[in-house]
Amino acid sequence: MLPCQSKIDLPTRREFLAALFTGMACCRLGQETWAQPMTGLMSPATDGKLSLKLADFPVLASEGGSIGLMYGTDFPVLISRLAEEFVALRGECPHASGTVIPLNGSFFCTNHGSVFDTEGIAFSGPAVGTQLPQYTLTHHEASGLLEVTVPNMAHSITVVALSGADRLALTFQSISGAKHEVRFRAQLTGAESVVSFASTPTGSLNVTELSGDGTSKTVYVSRSGQGGFFLVNAKVTQL
Ligand code: FES
Protein backbone atom coordinates (compact mmCIF):
# COMPACT_ATOMS: atom_id res chain seq x y z
CA MET A 1 0.00 0.00 0.00
CA LEU A 2 1.31 3.42 -0.86
CA PRO A 3 2.23 5.82 1.91
CA CYS A 4 -0.28 8.61 2.39
CA GLN A 5 1.35 11.91 1.59
CA SER A 6 -0.28 13.72 4.51
CA LYS A 7 1.33 11.33 7.00
CA ILE A 8 4.87 11.78 5.72
CA ASP A 9 7.20 14.41 7.11
CA LEU A 10 8.36 16.15 3.99
CA PRO A 11 11.70 17.91 4.25
CA THR A 12 11.45 21.64 4.73
CA ARG A 13 13.24 23.89 2.32
CA ARG A 14 16.39 25.35 3.74
CA GLU A 15 16.74 28.92 2.70
CA PHE A 16 20.49 29.08 2.64
CA LEU A 17 22.55 29.37 -0.47
CA ALA A 18 23.60 25.92 -1.53
CA ALA A 19 25.13 26.87 -4.84
CA LEU A 20 24.66 29.21 -7.70
CA PHE A 21 22.88 28.46 -10.90
CA THR A 22 24.88 30.29 -13.49
CA GLY A 23 23.12 31.11 -16.70
CA MET A 24 26.55 31.09 -18.33
CA ALA A 25 25.58 34.37 -19.83
CA CYS A 26 28.97 35.97 -19.90
CA CYS A 27 29.25 39.23 -21.75
CA ARG A 28 32.59 39.87 -23.28
CA LEU A 29 33.36 43.53 -23.12
CA GLY A 30 36.88 43.43 -24.45
CA GLN A 31 40.15 43.63 -22.63
CA GLU A 32 40.45 47.37 -23.07
CA THR A 33 39.09 49.90 -20.64
CA TRP A 34 35.39 50.58 -20.89
CA ALA A 35 36.00 53.96 -22.44
CA GLN A 36 35.42 52.09 -25.72
CA PRO A 37 31.89 52.39 -27.13
CA MET A 38 29.81 49.24 -26.66
CA THR A 39 26.36 48.28 -27.81
CA GLY A 40 24.37 45.09 -27.73
CA LEU A 41 26.92 42.41 -26.92
CA MET A 42 25.25 39.19 -25.90
CA SER A 43 25.89 35.59 -25.02
CA PRO A 44 25.30 32.67 -27.40
CA ALA A 45 24.60 30.35 -24.46
CA THR A 46 21.73 27.89 -24.83
CA ASP A 47 22.00 25.72 -21.72
CA GLY A 48 22.34 26.54 -18.07
CA LYS A 49 25.05 25.14 -15.81
CA LEU A 50 24.51 24.22 -12.22
CA SER A 51 27.90 24.08 -10.53
CA LEU A 52 28.27 22.89 -6.99
CA LYS A 53 31.07 22.07 -4.64
CA LEU A 54 30.84 18.52 -3.37
CA ALA A 55 32.27 19.64 -0.04
CA ASP A 56 29.12 21.72 0.54
CA PHE A 57 26.95 18.58 0.48
CA PRO A 58 28.30 15.97 2.93
CA VAL A 59 25.32 13.68 2.23
CA LEU A 60 26.75 13.06 -1.25
CA ALA A 61 29.86 11.51 0.28
CA SER A 62 28.00 8.22 0.86
CA GLU A 63 26.48 5.87 -1.71
CA GLY A 64 22.74 6.49 -1.91
CA GLY A 65 23.03 10.06 -0.60
CA SER A 66 20.71 12.47 -2.43
CA ILE A 67 19.89 16.16 -2.58
CA GLY A 68 17.31 18.32 -4.33
CA LEU A 69 18.05 21.84 -5.50
CA MET A 70 15.59 24.56 -6.46
CA TYR A 71 16.40 27.69 -8.39
CA GLY A 72 12.90 29.06 -8.95
CA THR A 73 9.45 27.60 -9.46
CA ASP A 74 10.65 24.99 -11.94
CA PHE A 75 11.10 21.36 -10.93
CA PRO A 76 14.07 20.59 -8.69
CA VAL A 77 17.35 19.17 -9.87
CA LEU A 78 17.93 15.90 -8.00
CA ILE A 79 21.46 14.59 -7.52
CA SER A 80 22.39 11.26 -6.00
CA ARG A 81 25.56 9.30 -5.43
CA LEU A 82 25.69 5.80 -6.83
CA ALA A 83 28.48 3.29 -6.20
CA GLU A 84 30.97 4.75 -8.64
CA GLU A 85 29.35 7.88 -10.03
CA PHE A 86 26.81 10.63 -9.57
CA VAL A 87 23.52 11.02 -11.38
CA ALA A 88 21.42 14.15 -11.92
CA LEU A 89 17.67 13.89 -12.55
CA ARG A 90 14.84 16.26 -13.30
CA GLY A 91 12.38 16.15 -10.42
CA GLU A 92 9.27 16.03 -12.61
CA CYS A 93 7.19 12.87 -12.22
CA PRO A 94 6.48 11.18 -15.58
CA HIS A 95 3.02 10.13 -14.34
CA ALA A 96 1.36 13.56 -14.13
CA SER A 97 4.14 16.10 -13.63
CA GLY A 98 4.19 16.04 -9.84
CA THR A 99 7.22 17.50 -8.07
CA VAL A 100 9.70 14.81 -6.98
CA ILE A 101 11.87 15.38 -3.91
CA PRO A 102 14.52 13.39 -2.01
CA LEU A 103 13.03 11.41 0.88
CA ASN A 104 14.59 8.72 3.06
CA GLY A 105 17.17 7.57 0.53
CA SER A 106 14.73 7.54 -2.39
CA PHE A 107 12.91 10.10 -4.49
CA PHE A 108 9.24 10.72 -3.72
CA CYS A 109 6.50 12.25 -5.87
CA THR A 110 4.57 14.78 -3.80
CA ASN A 111 1.55 14.43 -6.06
CA HIS A 112 0.45 10.76 -5.96
CA GLY A 113 3.23 9.22 -3.89
CA SER A 114 5.26 7.28 -6.45
CA VAL A 115 8.73 6.36 -5.23
CA PHE A 116 11.86 6.27 -7.40
CA ASP A 117 15.27 4.78 -6.70
CA THR A 118 18.45 6.85 -6.83
CA GLU A 119 18.76 6.18 -10.57
CA GLY A 120 15.29 7.63 -11.09
CA ILE A 121 13.46 4.34 -11.79
CA ALA A 122 9.95 4.21 -10.30
CA PHE A 123 9.42 1.11 -8.12
CA SER A 124 6.20 2.04 -6.34
CA GLY A 125 3.02 3.94 -7.15
CA PRO A 126 1.30 4.93 -10.39
CA ALA A 127 4.57 5.98 -12.05
CA VAL A 128 5.93 2.38 -12.07
CA GLY A 129 7.28 1.63 -15.54
CA THR A 130 8.66 5.14 -15.96
CA GLN A 131 11.94 6.84 -15.17
CA LEU A 132 12.86 10.41 -14.23
CA PRO A 133 14.58 12.36 -17.02
CA GLN A 134 18.35 12.46 -16.61
CA TYR A 135 20.62 15.48 -16.99
CA THR A 136 24.20 15.43 -18.18
CA LEU A 137 26.49 15.55 -15.15
CA THR A 138 30.26 16.01 -15.10
CA HIS A 139 32.34 15.29 -12.02
CA HIS A 140 35.54 17.34 -11.96
CA GLU A 141 37.52 15.29 -9.48
CA ALA A 142 40.51 17.62 -9.25
CA SER A 143 38.43 20.62 -8.26
CA GLY A 144 35.71 18.70 -6.40
CA LEU A 145 33.00 20.25 -8.56
CA LEU A 146 29.84 18.71 -9.97
CA GLU A 147 28.47 20.42 -13.05
CA VAL A 148 24.95 19.69 -14.30
CA THR A 149 23.79 20.87 -17.71
CA VAL A 150 20.17 22.07 -17.61
CA PRO A 151 18.77 22.54 -21.13
CA ASN A 152 17.07 25.79 -22.07
CA MET A 153 17.82 27.46 -18.76
CA ALA A 154 20.42 29.92 -19.96
CA HIS A 155 19.49 33.54 -19.76
CA SER A 156 21.59 35.52 -22.19
CA ILE A 157 22.43 39.09 -21.33
CA THR A 158 22.19 42.08 -23.58
CA VAL A 159 24.61 44.85 -22.70
CA VAL A 160 24.17 48.47 -23.70
CA ALA A 161 26.43 51.35 -22.67
CA LEU A 162 24.37 54.30 -21.49
CA SER A 163 25.36 57.41 -23.40
CA GLY A 164 26.64 60.19 -21.19
CA ALA A 165 26.86 57.91 -18.15
CA ASP A 166 29.54 55.66 -16.78
CA ARG A 167 27.11 52.76 -16.66
CA LEU A 168 26.09 49.63 -18.54
CA ALA A 169 22.53 48.38 -18.82
CA LEU A 170 22.30 44.56 -18.48
CA THR A 171 19.04 43.08 -19.75
CA PHE A 172 18.21 39.42 -19.17
CA GLN A 173 15.28 37.05 -18.88
CA SER A 174 14.58 36.44 -15.21
CA ILE A 175 13.55 33.05 -13.81
CA SER A 176 10.20 33.02 -12.07
CA GLY A 177 10.62 32.59 -8.32
CA ALA A 178 14.41 32.81 -8.43
CA LYS A 179 16.62 35.43 -6.81
CA HIS A 180 19.22 36.84 -9.17
CA GLU A 181 22.53 38.48 -8.54
CA VAL A 182 25.16 39.98 -10.85
CA ARG A 183 28.78 38.85 -10.80
CA PHE A 184 31.89 40.02 -12.57
CA ARG A 185 35.00 38.27 -13.84
CA ALA A 186 38.06 40.07 -15.12
CA GLN A 187 38.92 37.02 -17.25
CA LEU A 188 36.70 34.42 -18.89
CA THR A 189 37.81 31.92 -16.29
CA GLY A 190 38.88 32.99 -12.85
CA ALA A 191 37.60 34.49 -9.64
CA GLU A 192 34.19 36.15 -9.56
CA SER A 193 32.91 38.87 -7.31
CA VAL A 194 29.36 40.01 -6.57
CA VAL A 195 28.52 43.36 -8.17
CA SER A 196 26.11 45.92 -6.70
CA PHE A 197 23.73 47.39 -9.22
CA ALA A 198 20.97 49.98 -9.59
CA SER A 199 17.42 49.24 -10.67
CA THR A 200 17.12 52.54 -12.57
CA PRO A 201 19.59 54.26 -14.91
CA THR A 202 20.49 56.90 -12.31
CA GLY A 203 19.67 55.05 -9.08
CA SER A 204 22.15 54.19 -6.34
CA LEU A 205 24.44 51.25 -7.07
CA ASN A 206 23.51 49.49 -3.84
CA VAL A 207 21.24 46.61 -4.87
CA THR A 208 22.64 43.07 -4.72
CA GLU A 209 19.58 40.89 -5.33
CA LEU A 210 16.60 40.93 -7.67
CA SER A 211 13.52 38.69 -7.57
CA GLY A 212 12.74 37.03 -10.89
CA ASP A 213 9.20 36.78 -12.26
CA GLY A 214 9.84 35.27 -15.70
CA THR A 215 9.93 38.65 -17.43
CA SER A 216 12.82 40.57 -18.94
CA LYS A 217 14.73 42.65 -16.36
CA THR A 218 17.28 45.42 -16.72
CA VAL A 219 19.84 46.35 -14.09
CA TYR A 220 22.54 49.02 -14.25
CA VAL A 221 26.17 48.52 -13.25
CA SER A 222 29.25 50.73 -13.18
CA ARG A 223 31.69 50.36 -16.06
CA SER A 224 34.61 51.98 -14.31
CA GLY A 225 37.78 49.91 -14.24
CA GLN A 226 39.01 47.33 -16.72
CA GLY A 227 36.83 45.38 -19.15
CA GLY A 228 35.67 41.89 -18.37
CA PHE A 229 32.67 39.60 -18.17
CA PHE A 230 29.34 39.92 -16.41
CA LEU A 231 27.23 36.95 -15.33
CA VAL A 232 23.69 36.93 -14.01
CA ASN A 233 23.18 34.06 -11.58
CA ALA A 234 20.11 32.57 -10.01
CA LYS A 235 20.52 31.46 -6.41
CA VAL A 236 19.81 27.85 -5.57
CA THR A 237 18.22 26.58 -2.37
CA GLN A 238 18.45 23.04 -1.06
CA LEU A 239 15.26 21.11 -0.37
S1 FES B 1 2.29 12.74 -10.60
FE2 FES B 1 3.69 11.48 -9.61
S3 FES B 1 2.66 9.70 -9.10
FE4 FES B 1 1.22 10.92 -10.17
What's 132's domain CATH number?
A: 2.102.10.10
Å from CA of 69 to ligand 1 middle: 19
Distances from the Cα of 91 to the Cαs of 99, 202, 229, in angstroms?
Answer: 6, 42, 32
- Please, what sign has the CA dihedral across residues 11, 13, 19, 23? positive
Is 82 a member of any domain? yes
Which residue, judged by its Cα, is nearest atom 3 of ligand 1?
112
Whole-number Å distance between alpha carbons of 18 and 68: 10
Number of domains in the chain: 2
Whole-number Å distance between alpha carbons of 133 and 17: 25
| Whether 142 and 64 share a structural domain | yes
Over residues 165-218, the pLDDT tens digits come to: 678 888 887 877 778 888 887 766 677 788 999 999 999 999 999 998 888 899
Q: Which residues form the domain of 206? A: 21-45+154-238
- Cβ of 112 below 6 Å from ligand 1: yes
Among candidate residues 95, 89, 151, 146, the one with its CA nearest the CA of residue 120: 89
Å from CA of 113 to ligand 1 middle: 6
| Whether 198 and 230 share a structural domain | yes
Whole-number Å distance between alpha carbons of 125 and 15: 30
Whole-number Å distance between alpha carbons of 121 and 82: 13
Maximum alpha-carbon separation in the chain:
69
Is 222 a member of any domain? yes
What's residue 186's pLDDT? 72
- Cβ of 127 below 6 Å from ligand 1: yes
What's residue 166's pLDDT? 79
Under 8 Å between Cβ of 115 and 106: yes
- Cβ of 94 below 6 Å from ligand 1: no
Distances from the Cα of 237 to the Cαs of 13, 72, 96, 224, in angstroms?
Answer: 7, 9, 24, 33
Q: Where are the alpha helices (DSSP H) in the chain?
A: none
The per-residue pLDDT of the chain, averaged, comes to: 77
What's residue 178's pLDDT? 79
What's residue 74's pLDDT? 72
- Cβ of 101 below 6 Å from ligand 1: no
Percent of the chain with pLDDT over 90: 32
Whole-number Å distance between alpha carbons of 186 and 15: 30
> Is 70 exceeded by the pLDDT of residue 50?
yes
- Cβ of 93 below 6 Å from ligand 1: yes
The number of residues in the chain equals: 239
Of 22-26, 68-72, 209-213, the poorest mean pLDDT is in 22-26
Whole-number Å distance between alpha carbons of 90 and 74: 10
Over residues 95-138, the pLDDT tens digits come to: 999 999 998 889 999 999 999 999 999 999 999 999 999 999 99
3-state class of 5 per DSSP? helix
| Whether 129 and 161 share a structural domain | no
What's residue 43's pLDDT? 45
Is 5 a member of any domain? no
